[in-house]
Amino acid sequence: MSLTREEMAEIVARDIPDGSYVNLGIGQPTMVASYLRPGSGVVLHTENGMLNMGPVATGDDIDPDLTNAGKQPVTELPGASYFHHADSFAMMRGGHLDVCIMGAFQVSAKGDLANWSTGAPDAIPAVGGAMDLAIGAKQVFVMMSLFAKDGKPKLVPACTYPLTGKACVSRVYTDVATFAVTPDGVRVVETFGTTAEELAARLDVSLI
């Protein structure tokens, strides 16, 4: 059985070392927060200027001055701190975050990431902090389905979509397998409802 999005989020959460400073990208990566073990000491960074971000705010806790990078209202945990955008991205670009988790359109065998533009000629381009995040964290984890709706693999020999960052992804969490991007190639860490052999047959990327 392939994984649900919730199960993927749980597996990612399990792989985040205790005490890590982590940035969760907009969309699916946000779900990882729900599966962090209480007491893990994981601290969430949001690039709009905060450390120790808490869960999404509801009801009376909603404060328009306290949002995450997806502009959703969030809450503050004890030990929080606020800082401006230049300081926030300095924190990121300077390699101080342990893990950043992002979605992707494609990841290449060398760890190139494409997640900001499909390159469609009539699209309005928008990048936000994706390129800064991609090259800033010590490790970049990608969460995505392994195959697009049309069946094409999203783990590819080389990205055909415009890049977000070069050689920046270290792990790829998908619904059917988890991959580690290593200097020696792409390694299958774990499979879900399939086998490494079956995956190898469907991918153009050599697996080790």
Partner 1 sequence: MAALEAVEAVQDGDTVLVGGFGMAGMPVELIDALIEHGASNLTIVSNNAGNGDTGLAALLAAGRVRKVICSFPRQSDSWVFDGLYRAGKIDLELVPQGNLAERMRAAGAGIGAFYSPTAVGTPLASGKEVRVIDGREYLLEYPIRGDVALIKAHKSDRMGNLVYRKTARNFGPVMATAAAVTIAQVSSIVDSLDPEAVVTPAIYVNRLVVA
Tokens 């999203």 map to which residue? 154
Tokens 């499909």 map to which residue? 118
Contact call for residue 207 and partner 1 (CB under 8 A): no
Contact call for residue 89 and partner 1 (CB under 8 A): yes
CA–CA distance, 65 with 57 (Å, rounded to integer): 12
User: Residue from 165, 169, 181, 205 that binds partner 1 (CB under 8 A)?
Assistant: 165
Q: Select the span of 9-17, 48-56, 176-184, 190-198 touching partner 1 (CB under 8 A).
A: 48-56
Contact call for residue 60 and partner 1 (CB under 8 A): no
3-state secondary structure of 114: strand
Contact call for residue 50 and partner 1 (CB under 8 A): yes
- Per the CB < 8 A criterion, the answer to whether 18 and 41 are in contact is yes
User: Residue from 5, 14, 37, 85 that binds partner 1 (CB under 8 A)?
Assistant: 85
165 or 176: whose CB is closer to partner 1?
A: 165
Please give the residues from 20 up to 39 whose contact with partner 1 meets the rule CB under 8 A.
21
- Per the CB < 8 A criterion, the answer to whether 90 and 45 are in contact is no
- 117's CB contacts (< 8 A; 6+ apart) are 123, 125, 127, 161, 162
Contact call for residue 88 and partner 1 (CB under 8 A): yes
* Residue 99 backbone phi and psi in degrees, to 5: -140, 140
Radius of gyration, alpha carbons of the chain: 17
Contact call for residue 118 and partner 1 (CB under 8 A): no
- Site residues for partner 1 per CB under 8 A: 21, 43, 45-52, 63-67, 71, 76, 78-86, 88-97, 112, 117, 122-132, 135-136, 162-166
